[in-house]
Amino acid sequence: MNQLDQLRQYTTVVADTGSFRQLAQFAPRDATTNPSLILKAVQHSDYVPLLADAVRAKKRRPLERIVDEVLVRFGLEILKLIPGRVSTEVDARLSFDAAATIARARRLVELYERAGIGRERVLIKIAATWEGIQAAKALEHEGIHCNLTLLFAFCQAVACGEAGVTLISPFVGRIHDWHRKAAGAAWDDAAMAGANDPGVQSVARIYTYFKHYGIATQVMGASFRNVGQIAALAGCDLLTISPELLAQLQASDAPLPRALDPQAARMAKVHAITFHEAAFRWALNEDAMATDKLAEGIRIFAADAARLERLIEEVAKTRSIERALQRALRTDLAKLEAQLLAELD
């Protein structure tokens, strides 16, 4: 039995890709769609007609509504290939606006429902800011299930659990990257591998806390850099894994035992904690890594949302999507050049 099949015995495997071909290859249970993955997907000719059709069918509508239509259109195609749920992202630029996040989430769910997809197959992906968590709490009360992303701090996880969020996505690899950069020459790859990896330790702590106190929120480790990190979290509720690492797991028959166990978590010595808004903001502020990576993640997701909007505008104006892609890329390069020049001044 290969390692991917061994992992599936303990953990729900989610594919971190927007490629329909890769979804069919690795047969994950759940998947995701967001501006970043769509931008990557449309670099391949197979996905160009899907974007063009979605845009041109709705091009007289406001831009943000067209973006939602595109996200859902890709999500619907993904749902044809998986038995589980698709996560669909709310615009990251709304990360500090709970009311706007709620409105956008409701619209995404409405689009899925119009297409005949029930709420049980959709997760609304929201950044784990205080405002995002409060928006998710309200949405969960309406029966709209949420996936809280960009989660780097323990306080974010606890607040999500208290809010009754369906699923959280702590980012293993990005936590690893921050600590490795901070350590510089003192970093020892061998000593900090596996269960000693700071990203792995973060997810394991959250998993243990949730299982110890019977918190129903599912934990989905994300953003992996290597198979060792995945192996150290075997048994986590879900793991979202890139196609490259899925292929490595599929190609290996080495033993992959369970690392996280709910029974062991229930027996662990864990102290309960709670966070009101002021305590949450202070705890997050005190965690330099989480503060840095949350802000960085929101900026990256927001930039990709803006890039997708520019691409959609170009597609709506031209018959050639290839030309639209070229124009959008030129715009991105011009903005990057202007930013670099400004930094040099």
Average pLDDT, rounded, for the chain: 91
CB contact at 8 A, 41 and 283? no
How far is CA 213 from its chain centroid?
25
pTM over 0.85: yes
Does 32 fall in a domain? Answer: yes
Number of separate domains in the chain: 1
User: Helix 154-163 and helix 277-286: axis angle, to 10°?
Assistant: 160
* CB atoms near residue 319 (< 10 Å): 9
Does 233 fall in a domain? Answer: yes
Does 340 fall in a domain? Answer: no
Does 337 fall in a domain? Answer: no
DSSP characters over 204-271: HHHHHHHHHTT---EEEEB--SSHHHHHHTTTSSEEEE-HHHHHHHHH--S-------HHHHHHS---
Instruction: Label residues 61-90 b or e (16+ Cβ within 10 Å = b).
Output: eeeeebbbbbbbbbbbbbbebbebbbbbbb
The arithmetic mean of pLDDT across residues 120-138, rounded, is: 98
215, two tokens? 């918190």
Active-site annotation, residues:
125
Least confident of 123-132, 170-179, 197-206, 314-323: 314-323
Q: What is the DSSP letter of 237?
A: S
Please report where in the chains the tokens 């503060």 appear, as a residue. 291
261, two tokens? 């166990």
Residue 30 belongs to domain with CATH number = 3.20.20.70
How far is CA 133 from its chain centroid?
15
Does 327 fall in a domain? Answer: no
Query: Tens of pLDDT along 146-174?
Result: 999 999 999 999 999 999 999 999 999 99
List the domain range (segments joined by +) for residue 98. Answer: 3-319
For residue 12, the cross-strand partners are 238
Does 275 fall in a domain? Answer: yes
Query: Tens of pLDDT along 57-109?
Result: 766 788 999 999 999 999 999 999 999 999 999 999 999 999 999 999 999 99
- Which amino acid, one-letter code, is at 242? S
* CB atoms near residue 98 (< 10 Å): 21
Does 333 fall in a domain? Answer: no
Does 341 fall in a domain? Answer: no
Please, what is the end-to-end C-alpha distance for the chain in angstroms?
A: 58
For residue 127, the cross-strand partners are 149
335 confidence band (pLDDT: 50, 70, 90): low
CB contact at 8 A, 229 and 246? no
